[in-house]
Amino acid sequence: MGMRSETAMKTDTQTGNSLGAAKEPFRAPDGVTPMMAQYLEIKAANADSLLFYRMGDFYEMFFEDASVASRALGIALTKRGKHLGEDIPMCGVPVHAADDYLQKLIALGHRVAVCEQTEDPAEAKKRGAKAVVRRDVVRLVTPGTLTEESLLDARAHNFLTALFREPQSEGAEPRLALASIDISTGELIAATCKLADIPGELARIRPGEVLIGEDLASDAEIRARIGEAGAALTPCPRAHFDSARGERALKERLGVAALDAFGDFSRAELAALAGLLTYVELTQVGRMPLLRPPRRESADRLMLIDAATRANLELVRSNQGTRAGSLLAAVDRTVTAAGARELASRLSSPLTDVALVSARLDAVGYLADEPPLRQDLRDALKAAPDLARSLARLAFGRGTPRDLGAVGAAIGAAHALAARLISAGDTLGLPRELMGIAERLAQAPADVATSLSAALVEELPVNARDGGFVQAGYDVSLDELRALRDGSRKVIAGLQATYAEVTGIKSLKVRHNNVLGYFVEVTALHAPTLTAPPHAETFIHRQTMANAVRFSTTELSDLESKITSAADRALALELEIFARLTSEVLAAERQLSAASAALAELDHYAGLAELAVELRYVRPRVDDSAVFAIEEGRHPMVEQTLRREQAGDFIGNDCRLCGGDGDRNGAPSALVVTGPNMGGKSTFLRQNALIVVLAQAGAFVPAKSAHIGLVDRLFSRVGAADDLARGRSTFMVEMVETAAILNQATPRSFVVLDEIGRGTATFDGLSIAWAALEYLHEVNRSRVLFATHYHELTALADRLPHAANATVEVKEWREEIVFLYRVKMGAADRSYGIHVAKLAGLPAPVLKRAGAVLAELEKADGRPKPTDLAGDLPLFQAAAAQAAESTPSRLEEALREFHPDAMTPKEAIEALYRLRALLEDDG
């Protein structure tokens, strides 16, 4: 495809030009050089991207692109010629190091159009001395479309997600369809969720880039929801989101006549898939990724976890934004990158299907109970390369000989693992999950591995263009060309000896340079011998030097042509073999993708089993009850930190709750946890939430025993942080998150709340915390852990039938406190804040003064005590409260009828008297 036709097809996603829209022909300004005219034309078709314009061994950037890139990359900004009378800013990066620079630019939010030379410079010269080498954009590099190994985190997915608003009836809650693809592995998923759940869904998927149509881009609420995920946002033409196109594209890519076998996709989901696949086709300039069978994720099959909860619990990223310190890092014992990605996906998406959870736990338990088998599997997995990403690069035409080698090695590992699993199954029997994995591994195409093994050398080069990756003896023609290329020294030495013998000139040499090629060189003394008969016909004079004379021969010229041609032809033949092997691999993509997924799943199961044995994790009992019963539960991250620092053993704690209308057997639905700072309240709250995530993800848990009734939604409101960019104070953020919990929690939910109401005045905060806890108990009826410093809230345990108190133990000794980190039933009588301040290092005078002030405040404190509150406040009842709010009083009705702007002063005074009378009548 020529440059004009291809660039005309591009879509400017920022300005929203529709696919295939007609454009005015580009006209370069007068006086512009042909090369600069070519640059300006290509840049005009990719105005929203930095243009990497290939010139020899460098990618050059000009004009504003150069200024932006030089600042972003910290490279020198130079000049090249003039444009319209002004210097042209320029900077460039070496082609061999381009990935490093691309990584920096993408991380800073830039898009990059990579423009390559699409013809040999020698071909361009045939069109004229001033002809410009043809160039074209071969791909657009964006945050969601990376495939290069150096640009990706090997142990994390890089999803590109498209959103489409589902048509809705008036008054209905908005719903959005999501479609996500990781083009580096081919994984494709679709789902539909409520607008309110979008931040949580995007936090679960963690896309590098989010696509929305222009209609959604103008919706401030939707942009705000997406913005909470922190992904790059790319508006696209609305025409790209066509459900018919999405259905057609999927069927074509999957080679099927119907999509029923992959799930019941809605029209909105197909529209989102259309936008997704269209964008990929545009950015990859016509190339499409390999697609695994699409997976439709149903909201009722996954535990819903909002973005704030994911951040609070540090599921896959710590509060510092790194993998270290997260739950994922703590439990990851995988030995392959694909296994690590699978583990991250499952931790991010816990299940709400008891049968599926049990099947996963069966697989982990089986491997935990069979140490020799587990060790054999882990050893074999270490030899399995990242098959999914190698396949994706080969499909995009960016593969290397090492990717072919990875495919062969992965197939070999798959068959070895399948044999080991099947052997174990014959002896012990395999659980369903492991048997399915064994079957998929066994179907990896052995004939492809045989072809690759026969063709490839053991030590493979990084790039195919370097050659040298095909084994000797694989192709006779290639061997002959290599022999001619590599044997040139021997041939030249033989010719030199022949010429020396024929001429009698012992000092005759055959040499080579880039100007003359191969030539015969003799001293000036011996030159007459070669210019006189009988040698004059054989040796043709080429050059006379001060001390030497150079000659060429027809034989040398022919040999030089053959040697040069042999090297070029050998490389061309190797590249043909590479293309043939790549086609053979891609023809077996379905079996290879299935084997790749099986390798990842097996590694993840073996890693979880290793974790369970190493750290004494137990299999949780997961069922459809409303029970939550943990015996000696532990915090996975804190426990491992203590082990690393040799700071002692983690002290486990029990937790028993029962939500909804379950058989409580004495268990409360809400537990009010009090105690001093540093005593372990937050750790206790978080560890129980993390145990829920691990259990429903299909992992063993850090406890002596665990019984978990399925949790449909998990909420955690822990810690304090502001959101200044969106104009939210710390307290406002706390209230927004609390509101989300109260509005969405169900009797099957698990809620963790820490220090609600601490960001405002004491009475305000206490009132909010009191009402929130009552609402959770009476209306939501969820399982709740509620940590607080408001000791007044402990009175609720006497007022609410399914609430109880718990406290973290401390010991006082010689005016010091010792944290015991044990949680027991009952309420704390003090906060020990000044003791903690002392541990933090506050100066002694400050501590002494604080103690004195505290004593005075406690004397003058007019706040009611918990015992005083026990009988004074009516129990919170949602129905009654709502009825009271919906029925206006006589005073309110009278106020609504007043029109102050239309009243005379006398009428206003009379109105005030009437209001006063109503107020007195109402008491």
Buried b (16+ CB within 10 A) or exposed e, 660-683: bebebeebbbbbbbbbbbbbbbbb
As a three-state string, the secondary structure of 537-606 is: CCCEEEEECCCEEEEECHHHHHHHHHHHHHHHHHHHHHHHHHHHHHHHHHHCHHHHHHHHHHHHHHHHHH
Question: What residue has token string 């008036």?
Answer: 170
Q: Which residues are annotated as a binding site for ATP?
A: 675-682
Q: Give the relative orientation of helices 554-587 and 476-486 as an angle to the nearest 10 degrees.
A: 140
CA dist 852 to 186, 636, 675, 846, Å?
A: 67, 41, 22, 10
Alpha-carbon distance 590 to 594, whole Å? Answer: 6
**In this structure, what token pair is assigned to residue 670?**
């809400």
Judge contact between 672 and 591, C-beta under 8 A. Answer: no
User: DSSP secondary-structure letter at 532?
Assistant: S
Strands (E) in 448-526, as ranges, are 509-513, 517-523
| Nearest CA among 785, 615, 776, 781 for reference residue 686 | 785
Q: Which of 296, 297, 291 is nearest to 256 (CA)?
A: 291
Contact (CB, 8 A) for 377 and 641? no
Q: Which of 596, 293, 609, 598 is nearest to 434 (CA)?
A: 598
What is the C-alpha separation between 282 and 142, in angstroms, rounded? Answer: 11
Angle at 43 between CA 41 and CA 44, to 5 degrees: 65
Report the C-alpha gap between 218 and 233 in whole angstroms.
12
* Numbered residues of the known binding site: 675-682
Q: Could you give the strand order of the β-sheet that contains 621-623, starting from the edge strand earlier in sequence? A: 621-623, 705-709, 627-633, 653-658
Ordered DSSP codes for 324-361:
TTSHHHHH---SSHHHHHHHHHHHHS-B--HHHHHHHH
Distances (CA, A) of 94 to 58, 59, 79, 919: 4, 6, 17, 82
Rounded Cα distance, 366 and 429, in Å:
10
Between the alpha carbon of residue 471 and those of residues 267, 408, 451, 452, 468, the distances in Å are 51, 15, 12, 10, 8
Q: Which amino acid is at 515?
A: V
* Rounded distance between C-alpha atoms, residue 127 and residue 133, angstroms: 10
For residue 670, give the H/E element and its range: strand 670-674
Q: Give the alpha-carbon dihedral of 722, 728, 730, 735, to 10 degrees.
A: -130
Beta bridge partners, 351, equal 302
